[in-house]
């Protein structure tokens, strides 16, 4: 009797919580249905058509998917390039942005100015930043070659060299660590000081404090930055589009660029849509994998641990 009463109450509380929760996320559901859902369904449907965009679509069944895996060498090549780029770019930028955030967390003089300097590149993202870096890498007028010549080294044609070009784009991506850095800074500021005070009383070294306190506490934020870094960098487009146009010899033909060229330069929108869905599945699987892995290393204060 009593047990039944409690479970009834618990169930009612549960129902109430569900209703409240759905009310909280209602804006997103409405927004999704109106603005995103339709285009997503449309692009999925179009992946089974030949669509020149400027002419009506023609149904082609699975032809686009078959062509992607059997006839498009560039698709495979762009997959490899994109993965290599994401691997280096995301991991190196986590190291760099977290290091910067920690350096800036050291109560240095002129903090505001330091922080602004490191954040600065984030405001020159996308196209403008790519134009700037094409200008920096320019073999004759670029500052990079001129600096190298100044110290007696020979400059290179960075963006026209098959071995160097991907590295050049990775370096450029590291310059844009402002966003993860700001997120790390906010996370570090939110850390409870009492844990550090307790560690100080135990005479713990800086390294110990970093590995045992800082890292676990900000692991949800590291997780966010890595997941978002992967999702964002896989879709890299502006840099190769502006700086290299995919060259030389397609060595910077990122998936995003291959997709864009197919969609708008070749007007093969159906094929591009099919590619986008394969790309989506890859990113989705990677993200699921990261969520699965997360339970092993991400520590949620809020979940009681």
Site for another protein in 214-233 (CB under 8 A): 217-218, 220-221, 223-224, 227-228, 231-232
Distance, first Cα to last Cα, the chain: 35
Q: Is the dihedral of CA 294, 298, 302, 305 positive or negative?
A: positive
Question: How many chain residues bind another protein (CB under 8 A)?
Answer: 131
Quick check: 122 binds another protein (CB under 8 A)?
yes
- Between CA 133 and CA 250 the distance in angstroms is 19
Residue among 88 and 244 whose Cβ is closer to another protein: 244
What is the C-alpha to C-alpha distance for residues 141 and 151, in angstroms, rounded to an integer? 16
Nearest to 184 by CA among 272, 111, 99, 92: 99
Nearer Cβ to another protein (34/151): 34
CB of 69 to another protein, least distance (A): 18
- The yes or no reply on residue 295 touching another protein (CB under 8 A) is no
Name the minimum Å distance from CB 3 to another protein: 21
Q: Are 257 and 279 in contact (CB under 8 A)?
A: no
Per the CB < 8 A criterion, the answer to whether 227 and 298 are in contact is no
Q: Per CB under 8 A, does 128 bind another protein?
A: yes
Contacting range for another protein; rule: CB under 8 A; set: 4-12, 34-42, 62-70, 77-85: 34-42
Asked whether position 213 contacts another protein by CB under 8 A, the answer is no
Q: How many CB atoms lie within 10 A of CB 129?
A: 21
Give the nearer residue to another protein in terms of CB position, either 62 or 288: 288
Q: Which two tokens stand for residue 223?
A: 């997780």
> Hey, which residues between 222 and 281 contact another protein (CB under 8 A)?
223-224, 227-228, 231-232, 235, 237, 242-245, 247-250, 256, 259-261, 263-269, 272-273, 276-277, 279-280
24 is a contact residue toward another protein (CB under 8 A): yes
Other Cβ atoms less than 10 A from the Cβ of 198: the count is 11
Of residues 134 through 193, those in contact with another protein by CB under 8 A are 134-143, 146, 149, 157, 159-160, 175, 179, 182-183, 185-187, 189-193
CA gyration radius, the chain: 25
Q: Report phi then psi at 59, rounded to 5.
A: -70, 135
Among 1, 2, 3, 55, binds another protein (CB under 8 A): 55
The answer to the question of residue 86 lying near another protein (CB under 8 A) is: no
**Helical pair 269-297 and 215-234, crossing angle rounded to 10 deg:** 170
The one among 1, 61, 70, 107 contacting another protein by CB under 8 A: 107
Residue whose entry in the numeric block shows the structure tokens 């100015």: 113
104: Cβ contacts below 8 Å, ≥ 6 apart: 111, 114, 115, 118, 185
Residue 58 as a binder of another protein (CB under 8 A): the answer is no
Residues 226 and 177: beta-carbon distance below 8 Å? no
Question: Nearer Cβ to another protein, position 61 or 110?
Answer: 110
CB of 1 to another protein, least distance (A): 25
Binding of another protein by 292 (CB under 8 A): no
Which is it for the CA torsion 40, 42, 44, 50, positive or negative? negative
Residue 6 as a binder of another protein (CB under 8 A): the answer is no
1 or 202: CB nearest another protein: 202
Question: Contact between 103 and another protein (CB under 8 A)?
Answer: yes
Q: Determine the 3-state secondary structure of 59 from DSSP.
A: strand
């Amino acid at each position: 009797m009593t047990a039944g009463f409690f479970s009834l109450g618990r169930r009612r509380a549960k129902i109430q919580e569900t209703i409240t929760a759905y009310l909280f996320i209602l804006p997103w559901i409405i927004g999704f249905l109106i603005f995103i859902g339709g285009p997503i369904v449309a692009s999925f449907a179009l992946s089974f058509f030949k669509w020149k965009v400027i002419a009506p679509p023609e149904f082609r069944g699975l032809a686009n998917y078959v062509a992607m895996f059997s006839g498009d060498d560039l698709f495979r090549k762009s997959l490899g390039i994109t993965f290599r780029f994401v691997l280096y770019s995301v991991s190196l930028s986590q190291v760099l942005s977290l290091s910067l955030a920690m350096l800036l967390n050291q109560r240095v003089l002129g903090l505001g100015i330091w922080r602004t300097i490191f954040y600065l590149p984030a405001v020159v993202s996308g196209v403008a930043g790519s134009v700037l870096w094409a200008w920096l890498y320019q073999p004759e007028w670029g500052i990079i070659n001129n600096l190298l010549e100044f110290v007696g080294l020979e400059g290179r044609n960075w963006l026209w060299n098959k071995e160097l070009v991907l590295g050049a784009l990775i370096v450029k991506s590291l310059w844009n660590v402002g966003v993860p850095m700001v997120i790390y800074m906010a996370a570090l500021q939110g850390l409870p000081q009492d844990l550090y005070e307790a560690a100080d009383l135990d005479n713990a070294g800086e390294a110990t404090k970093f590995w045992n306190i800082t890292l676990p506490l900000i692991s949800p934020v590291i997780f966010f930055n890595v997941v978002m870094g992967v999702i964002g960098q896989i879709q890299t487009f502006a840099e190769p589009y502006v700086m290299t146009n995919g060259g030389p010899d397609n060595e910077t033909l990122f998936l995003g660029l291959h997709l864009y060229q197919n969609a708008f330069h070749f007007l093969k929108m159906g094929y591009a849509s099919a590619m986008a869905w394969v790309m989506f599945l890859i990113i989705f699987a990677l993200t699921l994998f990261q969520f699965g892995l997360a339970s092993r290393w991400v520590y949620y204060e809020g979940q009681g641990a």
